[in-house]
Amino acid sequence: MHLADKPAAFLWRMLVPPQAVVCAHDLDDDELIFLWRDWVVYVQPDGAVLRIPRPAKASPWWTAADWWDLLWWAADSVDYDALGVYAMGEIIRDLGLVVPVRRRGEPPADVSVRLIRHDGAHVETLLFRQVSPAYALYRGLLRCADLDAATDGEWEHHVQRLQVSSDVVPFRH
């Protein structure tokens, strides 16, 4: 699955449990609102991620417009772009988001994850055996954040592609 041209919301949907997503049918494919721990997290069409504290009395009947209004009026929102945090892996860590190795009902597979620098140069390929594609993406995004940090932000790294196969041959050291 080629991911380089997918909107950020597509990647987040792969990571976030479906029951955490609010108003899924009312949102465009390039935006997402989800609840995680004590936060309401917003993924905007341009890929920006914001979070606010989860309201104590959120209503299951709220519309997407109600959730967006909540963000508009929140006094203590966190805008990751404004903080200079652009890597999804760093945001994942800050939120404390975890993805299970395998999701119930999803058959495990061998998954390779291809990482590239923002200039398009191939960096490395990670191989995972008997995991869910979501877990492989999660680990790939965390690795990208580590690579960004290792270059002091000089290079940005991205997950370019996930390849799901039962024929992936692991590296031998």
Per-residue pLDDT tens digits for 111-143:
999 999 989 888 899 999 999 999 999 999 999
Q: How many residues does the chain have?
A: 173
Please say if the pLDDT value at position 104 is more than 90: no
Give, in order, the Cα–Cα distances in Å from 173 to each of 52, 122, 131, 145, 165: 45, 20, 21, 24, 21
Helices of type H across the chain: 8-15, 64-73, 88-95, 133-150
pLDDT tens-digit map of 40-99: 999 999 999 999 999 988 887 899 999 999 999 888 999 999 998 889 999 999 999 999
- Pair 52, 78: CB distance under 8 Å: yes
Please say if the pLDDT value at position 172 is more than 60: no
- Pair 148, 170: CB distance under 8 Å: no
Nearest C-alpha neighbor of 111 from the set 50, 156, 23, 170: 170
Could you tell me which residue, 103 or 143, shows the higher pLDDT? 143
Instruction: Report strand pairing: 122-131 vs 39-43.
Output: unpaired
Instruction: Report strand pairing: 157-165 vs 78-79.
Output: unpaired
Over residues 21-35, mean pLDDT: 93
- Pair 167, 8: CB distance under 8 Å: no
Please say if the pLDDT value at position 159 is more than 90: yes
